[in-house]
């Protein structure tokens, strides 16, 4: 087994989200400041929580789910009510408010619904007990996410092992950040790489190409930061450089995350992902979507029904520049996600196993059902 103590130390340094031990605040790393500044902030009011999700201080589908669970647990603990019905009325209002922060990642709604079900299940218990148990449930969601990523990583690692040829690194491309910063520990798309290190691979045994991921630069600011810190050979490229790189033969596999997978396997992920999938298909490169089962939305039949978040135009025109880089008043198209057609996906890696088309049948076989 490889020595991954440096990676573990890095994971500890950048823990995405935790609850303070005295249950007074949800504590997150502010991802908008990375990679230059590692700063943790406390979220105490529901407005701060909503804003942190909306502004991507915390982001990535699984991390949004864990954060939402902690946030609703904290808000619930502060509800002053004398009976369950009045407690639940406020709980629902807080839940609906948090759910309105971002529309695409289904993990947000999944985690909030799970917390809701927990509250309802315990409705005959004393309110103090229910409040305590909601904290326990949020911890469970966090702990489960660690194991889910690990399982995805083990399956992805087997793919890497099959691709490994003596003396040559395996070329991997990824888009956006589906790494430790997007989850509770290993990431989803990055988990195979971290598991490979555990199995004794050197960082030079793989070469990960990170798409910069315009406009919010999750690949540049987050994924390349993570992988570089883990000692994995990492190259950053602008999104429009993927084609020339794939054509060069340096990429053997693509791993990406996802925000919502429809029943038919269509997968919403960060804007630009579907373009990478189309290129991979053209060049004959396997393209895998790494998906916790909580990201698979069996109630959404196809990608056409997945709501796509539209974001502010200043993210494109001025956010990253000293001066604006487009004329005042210009119209801007800024969808945060796109949907990769299931026909372009080689396989969807869940924590329960690998899925191949037809995806609805494969999901059902693994016991993934509408929630």
Active site residues: 259
Q: Is 259 in the site for ligand MRU (CB under 6 A)?
A: yes
CB atoms within 10 A of CB 302: 14
Contacting ligand MRU (CB under 6 A), which of 185, 270, 342, 352? 270
Q: Is 60 in the site for ligand MRU (CB under 6 A)?
A: yes
Contacting ligand MRU (CB under 6 A), which of 4, 67, 180, 188? 188
Judged by beta carbon, residue 169 or residue 215, the one nearer ligand MRU is: 215
The closest of 63, 50, 49 to 259, measured between CA atoms, is: 63
Judged by beta carbon, residue 43 or residue 134, the one nearer ligand MRU is: 43
Q: Total binding residues for ligand MRU by CB under 6 A?
A: 18
Q: Is 218 in the site for ligand MRU (CB under 6 A)?
A: yes
Which position has the token pair 């083990």?
154
3-state secondary structure of 187: coil
CA distance 123 to 129: 10
Q: Is 176 in the site for ligand MRU (CB under 6 A)?
A: yes
Asked if 281 and 359 count as a contact pair (C-beta separation under 8 A), the reply is no
Give, for 233, the enclosing helix (H) or strand (E).
Answer: strand 233-237
Task: Enumerate the H helices of 164-248 as residue ranges.
Answer: 191-198, 218, 224-229, 242-247
Q: Which residue is nearest to ligand MRU (CB)?
A: 257
Judged by beta carbon, residue 183 or residue 346, the one nearer ligand MRU is: 183
Least Å distance between CB 59 and ligand MRU?
3
Q: With CB under 6 A as the contact rule, which of the stretches 3-11, 52-60, 194-202, 363-371 interacts with ligand MRU? A: 52-60
Least Å distance between CB 185 and ligand MRU?
11
Q: Is 258 in the site for ligand MRU (CB under 6 A)?
A: yes
Q: State yes or no: cis peptide before 215, omega within 30 of 0.
A: yes
The closest of 59, 68, 60 to 111, measured between CA atoms, is: 68
CA distances to 71, 166, 188 from 67, in Å: 6, 42, 17
Site residues (CB under 6 A) for ligand MRU?
Answer: 56, 59-62, 105, 176, 178, 182-183, 188, 218, 257-259, 269-270, 336
């Amino acid at each position: 087994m490889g020595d991954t103590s440096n990676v573990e130390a890095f994971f500890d340094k950048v823990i995405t989200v935790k609850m303070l031990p005295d249950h007074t605040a949800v504590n997150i790393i502010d991802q908008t400041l990375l990679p230059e500044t590692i700063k943790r902030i406390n979220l105490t009011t529901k407005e701060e929580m909503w804003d942190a999700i909306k502004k991507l201080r915390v982001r990535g589908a699984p991390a949004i789910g864990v954060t939402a669970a902690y946030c609703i647990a904290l808000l619930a603990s502060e509800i002053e009510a004398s009976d369950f019905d009045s407690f639940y009325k406020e709980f629902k209002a807080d839940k609906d408010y948090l759910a309105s922060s971002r529309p695409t990642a289904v993990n947000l709604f999944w985690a909030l619904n799970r917390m809701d079900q927990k509250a309802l299940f315990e409705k005959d218990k004393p309110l103090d007990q229910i409040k305590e148990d909601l904290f326990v449930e949020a911890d469970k969601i966090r702990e489960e996410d660690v194991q889910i990523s690990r399982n995805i990583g083990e399956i992805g690692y087997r793919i890497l092992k099959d691709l490994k040829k003596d003396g040559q690194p395996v070329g991997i491309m990824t888009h956006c950040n589906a790494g430790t910063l997007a989850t509770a520990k290993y990431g989803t798309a990055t988990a195979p790489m971290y598991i490979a290190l555990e199995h004794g691979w050197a960082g030079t045994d793989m070469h990960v190409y990170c798409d910069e991921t315009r406009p919010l630069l999750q690949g540049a600011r987050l994924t390349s930061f993570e992988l570089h810190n883990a000692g994995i050979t990492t190259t950053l490229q602008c999104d429009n450089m993927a084609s020339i790189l794939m054509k060069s033969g340096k990429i053997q596999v693509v791993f990406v995350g996802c925000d919502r997978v429809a029943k038919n396997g269509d997968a919403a992920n960060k804007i630009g992902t579907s373009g990478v999938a189309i290129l991979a298909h053209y060049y004959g490169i396997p393209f895998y979507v790494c998906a916790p089962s909580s990201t698979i939305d069996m109630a959404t039949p196809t990608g056409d029904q997945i709501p796509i978040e539209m974001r502010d135009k200043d993210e494109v025109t001025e956010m990253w520049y000293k001066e604006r880089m487009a004329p005042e008043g210009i119209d801007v198209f800024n969808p945060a996600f796109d949907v990769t057609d299931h026909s372009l996906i080689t396989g969807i890696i869940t924590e329960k196993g690998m899925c191949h088309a037809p995806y609805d049948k494969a999901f059902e076989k693994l016991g993934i059902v509408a929630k």
